């Protein structure tokens, strides 16, 4: 089973080490010790906690959609040039970049610090993992 050190687990779900330790203290996650004596969190529990956090973000749009990949975050950059705009969101540990019309960016009143949801519909999603050291 995959385990993550406290700092790794916190980075993966986009919270501080202290927040992750509070979750352990509150019984939301369990820890054990690895062979080096460091506290580690089970990957399955961390994945379930990440899903619970995502599910807790309300969808106030009242819109039905086929896209299932929704990343809630904060707008960190808006660059409008001519007919196009580049908008960047920080969604937890993920940076999401969107290209859209300048008209759409203006209509949405996008500005640094505003809340946004990146909705992604893709037929191809590439998944990567680290190679085993063996």
Q: What is the pLDDT along the chain (134 residues), one digit of tens a residue?
A: 789 999 999 888 888 999 999 999 999 999 999 999 999 999 989 888 887 877 666 666 666 667 778 888 889 999 999 999 999 998 877 889 999 999 999 999 998 888 888 888 877 777 777 777 65
CATH code where residue 81 lies: 2.40.50.100
Is residue 85 within 8 Å of residue 99, measured between CB atoms?
yes
Q: Is residue 41 a part of any domain in this protein?
A: yes
Domains in the chain, number: 2
Q: Are residues 19 and 50 in the same domain?
A: yes
Q: Is residue 23 part of a domain?
A: yes
The Cα–Cα gap between 113 and 115 comes to 7
């Amino acid at each position: 089973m995959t385990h993550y050190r406290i700092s790794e687990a916190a980075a993966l779900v986009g919270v501080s080490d202290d927040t992750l330790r509070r979750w352990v203290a509150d019984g939301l996650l369990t820890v054990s010790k690895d062979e080096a004596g460091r506290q580690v969190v089970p990957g399955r529990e961390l994945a379930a906690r990440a899903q619970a956090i995502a599910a807790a973000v309300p969808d106030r749009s009242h819109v039905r959609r086929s896209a299932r990949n929704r990343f809630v975050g904060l707008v960190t950059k808006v660059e409008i040039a001519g007919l196009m705009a580049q908008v960047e969101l920080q969604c937890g540990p993920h940076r999401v970049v969107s290209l859209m019309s300048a008209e759409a960016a203006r209509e949405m009143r996008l500005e640094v610090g505003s809340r946004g949801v990146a909705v992604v519909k893709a037929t191809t999603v590439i998944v990567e993992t680290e190679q085993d050291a063996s």
